[in-house]
Amino acid sequence: MHEMAIAQSIIDIVEQEMARHGLTKVKTIRLVVGEFTAVVPDSLSFCFEMITKETPLEGVEIEMEKVPLTGRCKSCSHEFPIQEYKFICPQCGSKEVEAIAGKELFVKEIEAE
């Protein structure tokens, strides 16, 4: 379950930012999560909740902005949503496709006091 490691990394990032900016209470953490990361939102929320129990981050809300997997054909430059992880251009049939969106995983915003 890689969500546990991701949850711990999020906590580390938030704690660093709290110390850096003199924050005492975090209300909401907003994440950007790409489809290709294979993060299960409910699992990540559960892991975060378990790790933060009885800590200053207990009860913090996690919001996730999901980014769909999108590709660009290297042959014809067509951009398209990648369905079922099939990296084949629907316009020209080329298998020379690069993922241009959907691999993101980062803390976008921390709402705090």
Amino acid at site 61 = E
113 — pLDDT class (breaks 50, 70, 90):
confident
Q: What pTM value is reported for the model?
A: 0.86
64 — pLDDT class (breaks 50, 70, 90):
very high
Query: Could you tell me the domains of the chain?
Result: 2-68+101-112 (3.30.2320.50)
Q: Residue 10: is its pLDDT beyond 80?
A: yes
User: If you write DSSP's letter for every residue of the chain in order, what string do you get?
Assistant: -HHHHHHHHHHHHHHHHHHHHT---EEEEEEEEEGGGT--HHHHHHHHHHHHTTSTTTT-EEEEEEE--EEEETTT--EEEPPTT----TTT--S-EEEEES--EEEEEEEE-
